[in-house]
Homo-oligomer: A and B are copies of this chain.
Amino acid sequence: MKIEQTIKIAVDAIVFGYTNQTIHVLLIKQKLGQLKNQWALVGGFVKNGETLTKAVKRELQEEAGIEVDYMEQLYTFGDDVNRDPRFQVISVTYFALVNSTNLTLTADTDAEEAQWFPVNELPELAYDHKEIVQLAKERLQRKLTYQPIGFDLLPTKFLFSDLERLYCSILEQEIDRRNFRKKMLSYGVIEETEEYAPQKSGRPAKLFRFNKQKYMELSMESSGYKIDFV
């Protein structure tokens, strides 16, 4: 069998982080090539013999010095033959989340500059990356309602109010505080710690922790985890 394929395979990562009560996306400023100075997603070509997952993790490390806390495949873009102006590139994109304690970036080549951008204030993006981010945003919204991925955006111990603000900011809607807490706690996957976080003002708040173990048990038996609001 003869195959003369010249199509290239790349991976790109859409990494979400949560700081200042806002969802952010990780972007890289291209310092080389014809797209110099444009912002783009972390990504690059897959090496021979490398798996897709490894390629993404390598790029994340190389371009931003970051390790993510959650990652899953998002979509493969290959229906616009000219999405990369140089030649035909198919991009397998990944959706990733980082815990807000691990947000520090350190691009280790000086070919790039990595930076967090609030998801609603993105600069112009190279290639079709705007479209990719949009898709990722929708995935994040939907996923949040049926899987406990919000916890991968928060520190291990967090305030209930932060969790709530996280949901508000991702889902872009108001949430009833009492109903939210009631429902969240009803699944038994969040536990109180004995610690309190001092607030700038107001009553001190208990810190909570996500119990992954409990969630696993829950999802085995019932698959009934669902957090959605009107």
Contacts and interface: CB of A to CB of B under 8 A. Distances in A.
Interface of A: 1, 3-9, 33, 45-53, 73, 75-76, 78-81, 86, 88, 90, 92
A137 to B, nearest CB: 16
A83 to B, nearest CB: 10
Contact of A90 (B1, B33, B52, B88): B52
B4 A5 contact: no
Contact of A76 (B4, B33, B49, B52): B52
Specify which of A5, A6, A48, A88 lies most central, judged by the most chain B CB atoms within 10 Å of its CB: A5
A84 to B, nearest CB: 11
Nearest to A79: B51
Contacts of A80: 51
A52 B8 CA distance: 13
Given A73-B75, A92-B90, A5 B45 contact: yes
Given A52-B90, A76-B52, A9 B9 contact: yes
Contact of A48 (B45, B52, B88): B88
Contacts of A4: 48
B7 A46 contact: yes
A3 B7 contact: no
A5 B47 CA distance: 7
A79 B92 contact: no
Contacts of A48: 4-7, 88
A52 to B, nearest CB: 4
Contacts of A75: 73
A224 to B, nearest CB: 10
A124 B179 CA distance: 50
Contacts of A3: 8, 45
Contacts of A86: 1
Given A5-B9, A7-B48, 9 more contacts: A5-B47, A9-B9, A9-B90, A50-B81, A51-B79, A52-B90, A73-B75, A76-B92, A90-B92
A4 B47 CA distance: 8
A42 B9 CA distance: 22
Contact of A92 (B8, B46, B78, B88): B78
Contacts of A79: 51-53
